[in-house]
Amino acid sequence: GENVEQHPSTLSVQEGDSAVIKCTYSDSASNYFPWYKQELGKGPQLIIDIRSNVGEKKDQRIAVTLNKTAKHFSLHITETQPEDSAVYFCAASLSSGDKLTFGTGTRLAVRP
């Protein structure tokens, strides 16, 4: 089955700096790679996703890159704000409607 590794497990940045979180996956059949933000006591919230036919996708301060050959994808958050502080999970699946395999999570802290 699919295995998703995520690094780093914790990340602390100064407000305004950039944050980068990286994930690798094992199943070359995976085609859908979403990123979720989870705040304490809440369900995961989709913040951006990318499909295998695209190498990069951007939405305001958030971007995701995908390297299918190397089987890794990354989340980039620019101009970080204190409200970006949360746990971020990457995930992989065959398609957007299939079961997801999650990474281990990254706890991001943005220092004011």
Partner 1 sequence: GAVVSQHPSRVICKSGTSVKIECRSLDFQATTMFWYRQFPKQSLMLMATSNEGSKATYEQGVEKDKFLINHASLTLSTLTVTSAHPEDSSFYICSARDFFAEQYFGPGTRLTVT
Chain contacts with partner 1 (rule: CB under 8 A): 36, 41-46, 89, 95-97, 99-105
In one letter, which amino acid is 33? F
Q: How far is the CB of 45 from partner 1 (least distance, A)?
A: 7
- Residues ≥6 apart with Cβ < 8 Å to 39: 45, 86, 87
Q: How far is the CB of 4 from partner 1 (least distance, A)?
A: 9
Q: Which is nearer to partner 1, 50 or 100 (CB)?
A: 100
CA dihedral sign of residues 89, 95, 96, 98 = negative
Q: Which is nearer to partner 1, 18 or 45 (CB)?
A: 45
